Structure 1
């Protein structure tokens, strides 16, 4: 069987007509080229060149082989280009599963910037609970998980991507908007939109109320911050939402205030320990960290 190197030598000699010139182009010795041609002729069982006036003239058989070899060389170049693009993260497939608080706002905005230099990249985006994130990662159905709540599972690794905090939001004309900083005690005096006691955010907020010696009261229970944000936009009440969900959101009609006591949050990147993390997933995780850092330092 003729290998790719033998085909390369054959095609180069056909192109330049002498083993000496072919050796220069291939950066090898002239005897090495001559030996390669002889070995190839032994393999195929017929002559590939005849010598005329000091030049090697290819036989019709050699020309036919060389013509077919061009398809192989083009395919090799295409594969090399694909490898370079995969190494650079410009093509391929990126599968992300995120909790809704990240997936509804932050993720699309970050991806829109990330994709500008990667137009050939294929995306798969799923939203789900932290349990769904773990299931997809350990089964190999996702490359990267994103969540505010870090999972505790031996089959995944967790990486802190960015810092945030809970914020109080209310309609722009609400009495709470008159405050520069909102105490959680104020929330029990207004129509409070909040999260179930069994949800991670609900438990974290309950801890803030406990520090003040209070029990949290709310008239409307939601599961996700994106829902709470839309409820407030429509004038239904006041809510605490994570700052990640506010990134890039239009400020018209709502007021955003810091809270006391503060409730710091983090965005976490989650990867599987059972499957190698793809290069493009690692690139996006790093990109998202830079995006969050820039967003947090931007003026409010």
Structure 2
């Protein structure tokens, strides 16, 4: 099938109508019908049957649809890539992706400091999970990614920035360090199993004999902290979330201590731009300030 035939097929499957498909593609209905007819002739089987004035997909069409969806996902990726190459890679802009915990604490301060020193610069900041950050960097959709954990991949460079302590937050807690074995499993708010911090904590909890299947799991450290603030239980979160989330009980360190790495990611085949290097320096500086505040 040619690309135009695939477009017509996809539009009909999406809209359920030849007329609406033609409108979506900005062509006449006879033109769309002609392309569909040629597509079926080239394939040697029908894609749609007419029933009561409607086009009903055949079994073959339904089998083809997931593969056609994949083609259009690739086309969407290609469009983002060409848009990036056309507009936003001239040395005067930068696009950053960060995990939500950093997007609610550290990264806004870094961005504001950079904008104050370099007015007129264009910055795009997105908060998302680590796996999406990796995908978008490899797709030329992000310049830098700031994540927790180790996301070593072919085609990526990973710079270790700092080790961020993990802290216990619990409104019913006392003072001093907390051993993992002391955590009440019935009140423990866990993190999504895809989170690198969760994998580390699940191993520690398993060694302590605490079930690694908490009654509640959430996708972000921020949400875990908010549940603790509302009296929903206890949680173990990164120190930056514990430091900057308002209204939390005083965090307590773990004993033995656990930490998660803060890592900056970028494409291995791209040297860091001057802008990226400046952002990186500010990131290190702001992290040092936060870690010093925790030590007080």
- TM-score by length of structure 1 reads 0.63
| Residues 19-38 of structure 1 aligned to structure 2 (within 5 Å) | none
The answer to whether the aligner puts 1:135 opposite 2:135 as a matched pair is yes
User: Distance between the aligned counterparts of 2:140 and 2:213, measured in 1?
Assistant: 41
Structure 1 residue 267: Cα displacement: 0.7
Structure 1 residue 253: Cα displacement: 4.4
**For 1:266, which of 256, 261, 278 is the aligned residue?**
261
Structure 1 residue 278: Cα displacement: 1.9
The answer to whether the aligner puts 1:286 opposite 2:285 as a matched pair is no
User: Distance between the aligned counterparts of 2:279 and 2:194, measured in 1?
Assistant: 31
Q: What residue is the counterpart of 1:221 in the other structure?
A: 217
Q: What residue is the counterpart of 1:242 in the other structure?
A: 238
User: Distance between the aligned counterparts of 2:228 and 2:156, measured in 1?
Assistant: 36
Q: What residue is the counterpart of 1:169 in the other structure?
A: 169
User: Distance between the aligned counterparts of 1:243 and 1:146, measured in 2?
Assistant: 16
Tell me the secondary structure at the aligned position of residue 145 of structure 1.
strand
Q: Which has the larger radius of gyration?
A: 1
Cα distance change on mapping 1:217 and 1:180 into 2, 3 Å: farther
CA deviation vs aligned residue, 1:135-161 (integer Å, no higher than 9, x gap): 221222211100012212110100011
User: Distance between the aligned counterparts of 2:232 and 2:209, measured in 1?
Assistant: 27
Contact 2:150 2:263 in 1 (8 A): yes
Structure 1 residue 217: Cα displacement: 5.0
The answer to whether the aligner puts 1:211 opposite 2:207 as a matched pair is yes
In the TM superposition, structure 1's runs of 4+ consecutive aligned residues that sit over 6 Å from their partners are none
- TM-score by length of structure 2 reads 0.64
Q: What residue is the counterpart of 2:177 in the other structure?
A: 181
Q: What residue is the counterpart of 2:118 in the other structure?
A: 118
Tell me the secondary structure at the aligned position of residue 108 of structure 1.
helix
Root-mean-square deviation (CA, aligned residues, Å) is 2.0
User: Distance between the aligned counterparts of 2:139 and 2:194, measured in 1?
Assistant: 26
Greater Cα shift, 130-139 or 208-217: 208-217
Runs of 5+ in structure 1 lacking a partner?
Answer: 1-90
Cα distance change on mapping 1:253 and 1:229 into 2, 3 Å: closer
Greater Cα shift, 155-164 or 274-283: 274-283
CA deviation vs aligned residue, 1:250-283 (integer Å, no higher than 9, x gap): 4x44221001232122210111123343210111
User: Distance between the aligned counterparts of 1:137 and 1:270, measured in 2?
Assistant: 8
Structure 1 residue 114: Cα displacement: 2.8
Tell me the secondary structure at the aligned position of residue 141 of structure 1.
coil
Structure 1 residue 167: Cα displacement: 0.3
Tell me the secondary structure at the aligned position of residue 112 of structure 1.
helix
